Structure 1
Amino acid sequence: MPFSQQFMDNPKADRVKRVASLRQASVRRRLGLFLVEGPQAVREAVAYMPERVHDVYIDTSHNPHDDIISSALEAANPIYLHHVSTKVMEAISPDAQSIAAVVSSEGLIRTLDDIDLNPLNTEFSEIGSTSSDNPEKNYQPQTDLIVACWQARDPGNEGTLIRTADASGCRAIILVDDSAHPLNPKVVRSSAGSLFHIPVIQASTEEFFAWAEKHSLPIWAADIHGTQEHAPYDLVTVLADRNSGLVKPAATPIMLFGNEARGLPTEIVERAGRAVMIPLYGSAESLNLAMSGAVMMYSIAMAQHQG
């Protein structure tokens, strides 16, 4: 679809200011648009959700991005391509890495009822698959696990968890309570395009627990302390038990992670009803949220696939 014939080289132009303003949450909410920065995230947006992409801004003096341009030109809907100067790109976003896109946010963040709880259609496979006809509506989970994060405040950690949940084939990721907004530019960047693959949900604490109870979904709290009634299980022990409910689930399990600084409060662990911890073999006190998420998601995914 069309290239703009006008080379954009004025960083103070009104259009540049409007695009740059999408870094502000209030503007994103008002316009129903958000900014996607960097080659990987833009590439995935154009490939997986081209109908959402309005404009792509490219500083070709740094990188021609021929593959992204080709995908945009082949899209059924018009994606407008704009060549810009380095100064304009820096004004749009200092984190753009020579390419940025304006994308529609309407309906992108799903609801709990959008999560597919049907049994997996095939045995666990080694490689995930997504329908090329309409990937947004046909994400195919490859691991029987839902990931949830309670009050994940750091956008970089949250984006990394979205990316890891996607890579390990999880059904969805649920952002519970006061978590960073998934369309925060840093979340979008650190998800490296996975935001456009896996269902991402926002829910309050009460909505989350009520939904899990309604569907009889077991919740495992990632917590090193547990509670008086629920001492934490060791992850190695849980994965060795083929009937633990994580490796061979009777119902799709949910792995719940806590806040970066405070973890999960006791009342949340009690409501989950069970806790699991990653064993620490060295002297470190703990792992950060993104690393804990990666270890647990991939350990569970590999155990399920082996099972």
Structure 2
Amino acid sequence: MNSNNRKMTITSVQNDKVKAMAALLDKKHRDRSGQFIIEGIHLVQEALLAKAEVAAIVYDMERGLPKELAPLLESIDSCDLIEATSAVMAKCTGTESPPPVFGVVRKFSLDAQQLYKESSLVVVLDGVRDPGNMGTIIRSADAVGADAVVLGKGCVDLYNPKTVRSTMGSLFHLPILEGDLAELLSEAKSRGIRLVGTSLAATDTCYSFDWRGPTWLLLGSEGDGLSASSLAQVDHNVIIPMHGKSESLNVAMAGTVLLYEALRQRQYGG
């Protein structure tokens, strides 16, 4: 294990470090500190593999450091390695049945220029408020090899513990930026990127539309769809054909269908 990693034991929930980590369950403290919590072996593994800035790894002293993590810690410098009681684990994760390990990670700092790649495929979320839906969309974007995900105002916090869990580690696999959609969409259009939305009135289905050029897919809130300002920027609308009796797909399912059609056209032809 890397000798630069600081090892310590914490047994009291009143410890100042514990209080600071538990505060990360609230958005205002995440924003203030620039850090967030990841829970469980898989997410900590993904963070370490992605070379994310992991400030601390905390594990249940009764269960010990998960064996899957030990080799990965060799290449990590200046990370606090903390063994703690189950009470401390529960306080910091807000769960009655805490995971065997959690991590404290620095929030991402990304350059918007990464969005404007040639033939880019970017997913733009406008007011998506459900953590499960956001996490699923990020996983789908990761699965199809999208270049980035953009989160506009009104979206659930990316670093909300429920959102983080629902990404299943995909938040470490592709750039995710939070920004002003009015500015970002305008800049994309000026660079020749098409902005695509969905509409029941669209004449193109998602299968007849050509997804092969540089494209940003805009997905709106679960109840209201895209905001008026985003709608005004959209260049093309598509519709997902519905042949059964279901009235609609939720935003995560719809986004996944659209992304996989884009993947099919871009990678498999036709």
Structure 1 residue 156 corresponds to structure 2 residue 157? no
Identify the residue that residue 23 of structure 2 maps to in structure 1. 21
Aligned length, in residue pairs: 265
Kept in 1: contact 2:136–2:167 (CA 8 A):
yes
Q: Give structure 2 stretches of 5+ with no counterpart.
A: none
Kept in 1: contact 2:182–2:230 (CA 8 A):
no
Structure 1 residue 71 corresponds to structure 2 residue 72? yes
For residue 62 of structure 1, report the CA deviation from its aligned partner. 5.0
Identify the residue that residue 172 of structure 2 maps to in structure 1. 196
Show CA shifts across 1:131-189 (max 9, x none). Answer: xxxxxxxxxxxxx4111111111222112211211111001111123212222222222
Identity across matched positions, percent: 28
- The 3 A distance-change label for structure 1 pair 71 and 285 is same
Kept in 1: contact 2:7–2:80 (CA 8 A):
no
Counterparts of 2:55 and 2:140, CA distance in 1: 27
1:1-307 maps to which residues of 2 (within 5 A)? Answer: 1-2=2-3, 6-50=8-52, 52-59=53-60, 61-62=62-63, 64-72=65-73, 74-95=74-95, 97-105=99-107, 108-118=108-118, 144-223=120-199, 225-226=200-201, 231-238=202-209, 244=210, 246=211, 248-249=212-213, 252-265=214-227, 268-307=230-269
Kept in 2: contact 1:111–1:203 (CA 8 A):
no
Q: Give structure 1 stretches of 5+ with no counterpart.
A: 120-143, 239-243
Kept in 2: contact 1:53–1:102 (CA 8 A):
yes
Counterparts of 1:264 and 1:232, CA distance in 2: 18
- The 3 A distance-change label for structure 1 pair 21 and 266 is closer
Comparing 264-273 with 9-18, greater Cα deviation is found at: 264-273
- The 3 A distance-change label for structure 1 pair 8 and 114 is same
Please state whether the residue corresponding to 1:166 is helix, strand or coil: helix
Counterparts of 1:153 and 1:6, CA distance in 2: 38
Counterparts of 1:100 and 1:43, CA distance in 2: 10
Counterparts of 2:264 and 2:61, CA distance in 1: 41
- The 3 A distance-change label for structure 1 pair 273 and 115 is closer
Counterparts of 1:209 and 1:305, CA distance in 2: 26
Show CA shifts across 1:74-101 (max 9, x none). Answer: 1241222212222211111135522111
Please state whether the residue corresponding to 2:29 is helix, strand or coil: helix
For residue 20 of structure 1, report the CA deviation from its aligned partner. 0.6
Counterparts of 1:189 and 1:265, CA distance in 2: 27
Q: Aligned letter for 1:197?
A: H
Kept in 2: contact 1:109–1:202 (CA 8 A):
no
Counterparts of 2:116 and 2:63, CA distance in 1: 42
TM-score by length of 1: 0.79
Q: Aligned letter for 1:41?
A: L
TM-score by length of 2: 0.89
For residue 285 of structure 1, report the CA deviation from its aligned partner. 1.1
Counterparts of 2:59 and 2:236, CA distance in 1: 49
- Judging by fraction of residues, say which structure has more strand: 2
Show CA shifts across 1:186-215 (max 9, x none). Answer: 222211222112011122231122111221
Kept in 1: contact 2:195–2:216 (CA 8 A):
yes
Identify the residue that residue 123 of structure 1 maps to in structure 2. none
